[in-house]
Amino acid sequence: MPTNFDTTTAKDLWQTRLSTTRFSVIDGAILPKTTATGNNIRSNFHIDYDRVVFSRAFRKLGRKTQVHPFAQSDHTHNRLTHSVEVASVGRSIGNQVGAALYDAGLLPPDFSANSIGAVVQVACLAHDLGNPPFGHTGEQALREWFCDPKHAHYLENLTDKQRSDICTYEGNAHSLRTVLNLEMYKSQGGMRLTAASIGALIKYPWASDNPKGKGQKFNIYQSELPLFRHISETLDLPKIATDHWARHPLSYLMEAADDICYALLDLEDAVEMGMISVNDFQGVLKNIIDYDKLINIKNTEQRLGAMRGTAIGRAVEAVTRAFMTHHDALLTGKFEHKDLLAVIDPDIKDMLNKSKKLAADEIFRHNSKLATEIAAFGCLSTLLDLFIPAIYAHHHGSVLSTKHTLALDLLGFDKENRQSLYEDYMTVLDFICGLTDNTAAKLARDISGVGMI
- List, in order of start, the domains of the chain with CATH numbers: 1-132+169-364 (1.10.3210.10), 367-448 (no CATH)
Enumerate the β-bridge partners of residue 190.
Answer: 185
Rg (CA), the chain: 23
Closest alpha carbon to 174 in 60, 256, 69, 76: 60
Bridging pattern class, strands 21-26 and 29-34: antiparallel
What pLDDT, on a 0 to 100 scale, did the predictor assign at position 173?
97
What kind and span of H or E run contains 59? Answer: helix 56-60
User: Does the pLDDT of residue 205 top 60, yes or no?
Assistant: yes
Residues 6 or more apart from 183 whose CB is under 8 A from it? 51, 55, 56, 57, 190, 191
Bridging pattern class, strands 21-26 and 244-245: unpaired
Question: Which sign does the torsion angle of CA 296, 298, 304, 306 carry?
Answer: negative
360-408 pLDDT, tens digit per residue, is: 777 766 666 677 888 899 999 999 999 999 999 999 877 889 999 999 9
> Does residue 341 contact residue 256 with C-beta atoms inside 8 Å?
yes
User: Does the pLDDT of residue 74 top 90, yes or no?
Assistant: no
For the entire predicted model, the pTM comes to 0.93
Most confident by average pLDDT, 77-86, 177-186, 279-288, 299-308: 177-186
What pLDDT, on a 0 to 100 scale, did the predictor assign at position 213?
55
Residue 378 CA to residue 20 CA, distance in Å, equals 44
427-453 pLDDT, tens digit per residue, is: 999 999 999 999 999 999 999 887 666
Closest alpha carbon to 221 in 177, 167, 156: 177
Out of 53-57, 285-289, 441-445, pick the least confident. Answer: 285-289
What pLDDT, on a 0 to 100 scale, did the predictor assign at position 25?
95
Could you tell me the pLDDT band of residue 416, with boundaries at 50, 70 and 90? confident
